[in-house]
Structure formats: C-alpha cells, structure tokens
Amino acid sequence: MAVPAALTEDQIYHRCPPEKLDFETTEKLDDLELPFGQDRMLRALEFGASMAASGFNLFVLGPTGAGKHELVKRFLANHASGKPVPPDWCHLFNFLQSDKPNAIELPPGDGRTFRNDMNDLVSELKTVIPATFESEEYQSRIQELQEEVNRRQQKGLLVIQEEANANNIAMVSTPAGFSFAPMRNGEVIEPEKYETLSDEEKELVEAKVDDLQKKLQQAIQQVPRLRKEVRERIHQLNEEMVQLTLGGPIGELREKWAHVPAVVVHLDAVREDIVEHAEAFQDDENGAPAGLLNRYRVNLLVDNADTRGAPVVYEDLPNHQHLSGQIEHRARQGNLYTDFTLIRAGSLHRANGGYLILDARRILTQPLAWESLKRILFSGEIRIESLERLYGLATTVSQQPEPIPLNVKVVLLGERMLYYLLSHYDPDFLDLFKVEADFEDDLDRDNASYMLYARMIATMARASGLKVLDKAAVARVIEHASRLASDQKKLTAHDRVLKDLLAEADHWASQAGEGHIGVEQVQQAIDEREYRASRIRERSLEQIRRGVMMIATEGAQVGQVNGLSVLQIGATRFGQPTRITATARPGKGQVVDIEREAKLGGPIHSKAVMILSRFLANRYAPMGELSLSASLAFEQSYGGVEGDSASVAETCVLLSAITGVPLKQSLAVTGSMNQHGEVQAVGGVNEKIEGFFNVCAQSGGVDGQGALLPASNLEHLMLNEQVREAVREGRFSVYPLSHIDQAIELMTGMEAGVPGTDGVYPESTFNRLVADRLAEFADVSKKKDDDKANSSGGNGGDNNRDD
C-alpha cells in the first residue's frame, strides 16, 4: 500500500478567499433581517406561529448562546405586527356571587375607557345620591310616610279613647302606658264614690273597661306591623329616588356601551345594587362606605390600548404566579383582605391572542410552574388560583375569578437535551408542543455564504455598537468561525461566541487607538482568549518538558507510541499526546485492556480494543489459533480513557510489541479503526495536532515530526498559524490515513505487505513478520499444551483452542 503524501498548507487550513468579500469595511453592508442557513428552523417558526390548531406550540431547540431568544423575539415581533390586536379583559364585581368576579371582554382600548367611565360614575354617585336624600322632596316624602303611619297608629288609639269617653270612662296615661277608669265630668271618679254605685252599674263599667283594655291591647300590638310597613315603604321610596337619580348617568353609559352587551348587563346590575344599598349613601358624615363603591369599579386586567399587532411577551421568571396571575391581599390591622380589584394578570393574560416566550429550563426549575402551564394549555382557559389553594394548604375564603379563554402560542426555548428528555419522559409534552424548531449549530461554508456571513458579522457589530471591521478582519473571523465549527466546509452559527469575539476585538482596537477593527485585533482577541484559558494546558506542557510526563518526540521504540487525546475543561479544549504501550507474549488469544481492567476505560474504548483484537485474529491467524497474550495501557493516565480514537495507535503499538519492530516516536497517531483495518474519522483533530505540535516545539523544537490522522478528517482541519508555518517549511507533516497499513508503513518505515493468492504475506514485509511471530507464539503454546496433556494423562484435545 502506498504511503500517503503529507498534507500541504492549503489542505490543513481553508483560507477565506478575499475576492469573495466585495467590500472594504462592514460599514457598507446591509443588515441581515433573518439569519441565513437556518431555513429549517425559520420554516418551523413560520409554520408554528401561523398554525391555529391547539397544541401547535413551539419548542425552539438549540445550544445555549446560539441567539435563539433574540431571533425568536425578532421573528415573532415581525410576524405578530400584522395580526389583529387582541381584546382587553376586565374583572368586575359579581353581584350574585361576590367571591366569583366576572370577566368581560372588550375591544382593545375600550377597557381603559370603561374603567375611567366607572370611576367617574363612582365619583358621581358619591355626590348625586346623598344630594337626592337631602333634597326637600325626599325629606318631605319621608315625613309624609311617617306622618301617615303615625296617623294610622294614633287613629286606632283615638278610636278607643273616644269610645271610652262616650262610655264615661277615662283613658289615663301612665308612665309606661295607659289605664282605664270610670269618669264623671271629665275627671276620674274617686274610688270611694265609685263604691257607692249599684252593682249593676259597677258591673257595666268593669265589663266596658275590660273590653276597652282588650281593644287597646290589640291596637298597640298592631304597631310593629305598621312600623315594618313603613320601613318597607321607605325602602321603596329610596329605591324610587335612586332609580330616578341614576337614570341619567347610567342611561348615558348604557347608550355609550350598547355595543358591548356584557357591559350593559353589568351596568344594570350596578344600578340594582346601588338601589338595594341606597341607605348606605345616606350617611351624611362619611358618605357611602368605600368598600361599597369599590364594587362598581373595574379591574382592568389586560390593557391592549397601546398594543400594536398581537402581543409578544417574554416572561423572564416563569413561576406559577407570574404565568397564571395572582390574587393579592391588602393588610389592614394585621388581617389580610382581598377583593376583585386585587386580581393581577399573569403573562399568559398579557400574551393572550399573541405569543408567550418562555425559557424551558427556567420554567422547569420553578416549582409546579410546568404543571400549571400544561394544565392551562390543555384547558384552554386561564384560571387564577393560588398555589396554596390549589394544593389544599389554605382554605381561607378568597376570590375565584371567572376563567378567561386562552388563545396563545407558547414558544419554549431550550437546549436539545431538554427537548429530548421532555419528549421521552413527559407524555403531555408532544401533545402540547408539536412544532420543533431546531437551530443549526453550523452553517454551510460555500461561495454564496461568504457575503451573507459578512453581513451577519456587520449586523452583529452594528447592533452591539462596535467599530466596523475591514475586509481582512471579516475574513479572519470567517476562518475562525470555521475553526470553531471544526470544519473547513462549515461556519459556526454560535451567536454568543462570535459576538464576544467581535466585542473583544473592538476593545483591542480601542486600546490600539484604531478607528476600525483590523485583522490584528481579531487575531489578538483570539490569542488573548486562548491565553486566558491556557493555565492548565501550560501546566501540562511543563510536565512533559520536565520529563514528569514521559513523551518522546524523536527516535524509535518498540511497543510504544504517541496517541493523541483531547481534554475539555469548561469552554476550552486542548489536545495532548499520551504514551500508549503494549506487551505481547504467547497466550490464549486475549488482549488485555489495562484501562478497562482498572476500570479507567469507558465502554467505547473497550469496544475499540475488542475490535482490534478481532482484527488481529482475523488478519494474521485466519485459519489457526491466535496464541497471544497482549496488554495495552495509557501510561500516566489516571483520569480515565474513553473513545475509540486511539485504536489505530493501539494497533500499531501492539503489532510493534509482537514483532519487536520499533515505532517512530516523532509521529503521533489518532484515528479509529474497524475490523477490516480501515481508518475512521475521529473528533478534535485540530486540538490533537496542535497539542502534539506544542509538545514538540517545547522539547527541542519541531524538526521532522508529524501527525497521522484519518483521511476522512481532512475537511475538519483548520490548524493554527504556527503549525501551518512548520508545514510550509517542511518541519512538520500531517498524513491522512485510510488504512492501518499506511500507519504501519509510516510508523515503521517497512512495507506493510499484501497477502498473495495463497493468503501469505510476502517475505520481509511487516505483516509477514507479524504472521510469523504469531505462528511462533502458537507453536510455543501448542508445545506447552502437549506437555501439559501428557502429564495429565493425554486427555488434551481442543480445550485450549482459541477463538
């Protein structure tokens, strides 16, 4: 197999062609309204925002810092501006059930007018009704009523008095009532004289007195009924007077609000209530109690007077109360009171008829908020209930406002993981959030995208108030965006990282006194950023330089190779070489993965080692036994190993251990391998190569070193300037691998060898060496087995057969 040629500088770095950028500075570039390359997400948004059916709420998923929030807000604001303004909502006192305030819908802007109208009415009531009661008309009518009752009351008594007088009996007033006694010439007869009367006369008198007493009793006992009657008639009069007084103001309002039947109904109820409570307005000292008047006021829950188009609301603290609204209380002398005027709208109320943007992570971390949101979306109406009431923790009397019908699009923003977890674990989730709008992490880098990306950068700089960028700076940002995407054919779509980079470059430009951002400032921003995060990397390099961590970058060694790994700490990633060693001796066809045995290896790594052991068996002992006991270890690795990117290196080092052929220590290897020996792509190639390069540079300079990587990773290379310089000068080489044999040839300098038609590798090739060596191992093992079988009575057979 031919050894691959080392890559050229152009292959390891995809420059931004200057001719694709048709401008001098970003000043001339137009803003980009919507991001490019996010067509899938935009179509999903468009669909979700327009889809009327219930359950078609949106979940916008993408990595944090991708600019989801800003984009969604901008998109929805744009989309909503053409939609109708939703109605206003008011809570009104319910005169039938005082703890269940009514909710009424009003055309947008009318809510405010209605509230003012009712406030005016209340002010008017305060003066008009007492004035009615003070009027001479009312006073004289009341007096008439009382006189009439008095007359009727007196009449009964006077009749009795007259009857008594006619019978010569006096009706005498006593301190507590009346008494009857016989009378002559207007004076009560002295009891002594009365005794002289005949028995018949006395009998007549006493019978009459008795009769009169009974009549008097009856007459007096009529009095309470009369009083009740007068009370009723006074009440009737009050109603009549108030009814007439209210005719004007309420009539006007009725006419004004004839287009809203609910208001008319309410006005009628208000009138009824005022009439019913007319007496309360009679208090000259204090006027009508405030509590009574407040019942006629309007609690304007949702005011869309100033809303243009459909509302777009972002709730930054999406807890239960903020979403569904709450009922506040007023403390008065240590007691808590509430009424319908203390009902407060939630963000769902405000967003009703439009869009509500929520952060998925935040709503999930607020206790019970997610459940509340789902319940409201399912029921299609907003019912304001306090949490303590909802969960039966408080049973005090409170308000239960009439639910308000809900028509809102909820747009959740969150990471992909949340979306997938919710889909998996919450059975309601997909019922309610049927539209997924998935953000692209990376954008395609092609001829058409250069200018668009440049405009995106220009838009960002302008929006953040940064200096303009010149052409070279934009080109450098584009190249860096490719590096961030770890792909020559992609550009990162990560909004935050780019913005930060531009802001830092702007800072350095200001420091340097530049009027615009040049390529130097962009480079400085990248370098400074890297430097700030470099403490651990520097420490690691120092360990290698001082020999604490043993890495060889020159010479050749049997059973030892430089693998490449990537460390990620926080937001920074860097690569570093790791020494992988192997041992081999005859045995029962097993490759011991020391990392796994020590429980420092992950499952993917174990899988890779198993693949490589099957590769060995299949390739070098297809018909016979693989008599091998080998071991593999990552030296000085104490933190665990995961991934299969070391399998090419492990294969090389194992074969070196079997054959005793030394491997070049100036080359580092990365790449995964399948059972047929084909090399497969891995991640983090840029960091790995740069990491090895840095180690070489620190330990005696870069001179003839290189790195091997899968050919399929070629497009992922965006290596830094130092590496490119070394490649340009031929001091450092990067080789693409497509098969394990290429790695063997590069590492050993020997021909790998292709088996002939008989399946045997040609003489003096590396593979022949391996096959021969393994055959030797097999012989040794067989001999050992035979001896063992003989000594144990010859029941050998195939019990030590390797498979």
Residue written as tokens 């309360």?
280
CB of 345 vs another protein, minimal distance in Å: 46
Candidate segments 25-33, 112-120, 190-198, 730-738, binder of another protein by CB under 8 A: 190-198
- Residues that bind another protein (rule: CB under 8 A) add up to a total of 41
Among 42, 128, 197, 223, binds another protein (CB under 8 A): 223
Nearest approach, Cβ of residue 229 and another protein (Å)? 14
User: Which of 8, 154, 236, 636 contacts another protein by CB under 8 A?
Assistant: 154
Q: From the CB of 186, what's the least distance to another protein, in Å? A: 9
Q: 3-state DSSP call for residue 626?
A: coil
Distance in Å, CB of 136 to another protein, minimum? 7
Helix (H, G, I), strand (E, B) or coil at 178: strand
Binder among 5, 34, 131, 172 for another protein (CB under 8 A): 172
- Per CB under 8 A, 199 contacts another protein: no
Q: Is 285 near another protein (CB under 8 A)?
A: no
Interface residue with another protein, options 30, 187, 758, 803 (CB under 8 A): 187
**Smallest separation (angstroms) from another protein to the CB of 280:** 20
- Contact 236/242 with Cβ under 8 angstroms? no
Residue 220 touching another protein (CB under 8 A): yes
Reduced to 3 states (helix: H, G, I; strand: E, B; else coil), residue 84 is: coil
234 forms part of the interface with another protein (CB under 8 A) = no
Does residue 150 belong to the site contacting another protein (CB under 8 A)? yes
By C-beta, is 170 or 503 nearer to another protein? 170
Query: Measured between alpha carbons, how far is 280 from 269 in angstroms, rounded to an integer?
Result: 17
Asked if 138 is part of the footprint of another protein (rule: CB under 8 A), the reply reads no
Q: Would you state the structure tokens that stand for residue 335, as one six-digit string?
A: 């007691």
Measured at the CA of 313, the angle between CA 363 and CA 493, to 5 degrees, comes to 75
217 near another protein, rule: CB under 8 A: yes
Residue type, 57: N
Give kind and range of the element (H or E) at residue 181: strand 177-184
Region from 28-36, 211-219, 663-671, 735-743 binding another protein, contact rule CB under 8 A: 211-219
The size of the chain, in residues, is 803
The residue type of 311 is P
* Of the candidate residues 19, 96, 166, 173, the single one contacting another protein (CB under 8 A): 173
| Stretch of residues binding another protein (CB under 8 A), selected from 215-223, 306-314, 376-384, 589-597 | 215-223
With the C-alpha atoms ordered 648, 653, 658, 663, is the resulting torsion angle positive or negative? positive
Report if residue 648 touches another protein, rule: CB under 8 A. Answer: no
279 sits near another protein (criterion: CB under 8 A): no
By CB under 8 A, name the one of 19, 30, 52, 175 that touches another protein.
175
Could you give the dihedral angle defined by the CA atoms of residues 739, 741, 746 and 752, in that order, rounded to the nearest 10 degrees? -160
Q: Count Cβ atoms below 10 Å from residue 795 Cβ, excluding itself.
A: 7
DSSP string, 427-494: TTHHHHB-EEEEPPSEEE-STTHHHHHHHHHHHHHHHTTPPPBBHHHHHHHHHHHHHHHT-TTEEE--
Stretch that binds another protein, among 94-102, 149-157, 464-472, 520-528 (CB under 8 A): 149-157
Given the residues 449, 664, 688, 781, select the one marked as catalytic: 688
SS3 403: coil
Residue 669 in the binding site for another protein (CB under 8 A): no
Using the rule CB under 8 A, is 204 a contact of another protein?
no
Residue (175 or 570) nearer to another protein, CB = 175
Residue type, 128: V
Residue type, 563: G
Stretch that binds another protein, among 167-175, 479-487, 569-577, 620-628 (CB under 8 A): 167-175
Contact with another protein (CB under 8 A): which of 213, 294, 459, 675? 213
Least Å from the CB of residue 124 to another protein: 22
Q: Is 565 annotated in the active site?
A: no
Tell me: does residue 200 bind another protein (CB under 8 A): no
Q: Of 324, 372, 645, 699, which one is the catalytic site residue?
A: 645
Q: How far is the CB of 177 from another protein (least distance, A)?
A: 4
For another protein, give the closer residue by CB, 125 or 160. 160
Ranges of beta strands (E only) in 46-97 are 58-61, 88-92
Query: Is residue 775 near another protein by the rule CB under 8 A?
Result: no
Residue 40 CA: distances (Å) to CA of 358, 419, 435: 21, 17, 12
Q: Is residue 218 part of the contact set for another protein (CB under 8 A)?
A: yes
> Which tokens in the block code for residue 52?
């009327």
Contacts of 154 (CB under 8 A, 6+ apart): none
Q: Minimum distance from CB of 179 to another protein (Å)?
A: 5
The CA-based angle 225-153-177, given to 5 degrees, is 95
Surface-to-core class of residue 282, CB atoms within 10 Å of its CB (0-12 exposed, 13-18 middle, 19+ buried):
middle
- Is 645 among the residues known to form the active site? yes
Cβ-based nearer residue to another protein, 214 or 546: 214
Number of DSSP helices (H) and strands (E) in the chain, helices first: 29, 30
| Residues 32-71: x where in contact with another protein by CB under 8 A, - otherwise, as a string | ----------------------------------------
Minimum Å distance from CB 294 to another protein?
A: 29
Alpha-carbon distance of 433 to 417, in angstroms, equals 15
Q: Which of 42, 128, 145, 157 binds another protein (CB under 8 A)?
A: 157
Distance CA 321, CA 32 (A): 38
Residue 556: strand pairing partners: 664
Q: How far apart are CA 336 and CA 717, in angstroms?
A: 68
Stretch that binds another protein, among 22-30, 170-178, 304-312, 727-735 (CB under 8 A): 170-178
Q: How far is the CB of 173 from another protein (least distance, A)?
A: 3
Residue 325 CB, nearest approach to another protein (Å): 48
Query: Shortest CA distance to 684 belongs to which of 554, 537, 574, 796?
Result: 574
How far is the C-alpha of 645 from the C-alpha of 655, rounded, in Å?
17
Name the minimum Å distance from CB 156 to another protein. 9
- Residue 78 Cα distances to 33, 186, 355, 753, angstroms: 10, 103, 12, 66
* Binding status of residue 206 toward another protein by CB under 8 A: yes
Name the residue with tokens 């969604």: 72
**Single-letter amino acid, residue 36:** F
Residue 209 exposure: Cα atoms within 13 Å on the Cβ side:
16
Q: Which of 53, 96, 176, 623 binds another protein (CB under 8 A)?
A: 176
Query: Which are the catalytic amino acids?
Result: 645, 688
Interface residues with another protein (CB under 8 A)? 136, 140, 143, 147, 149-151, 153-154, 157-158, 161, 170, 172-182, 187-191, 194, 206, 209-210, 213, 216-221, 223
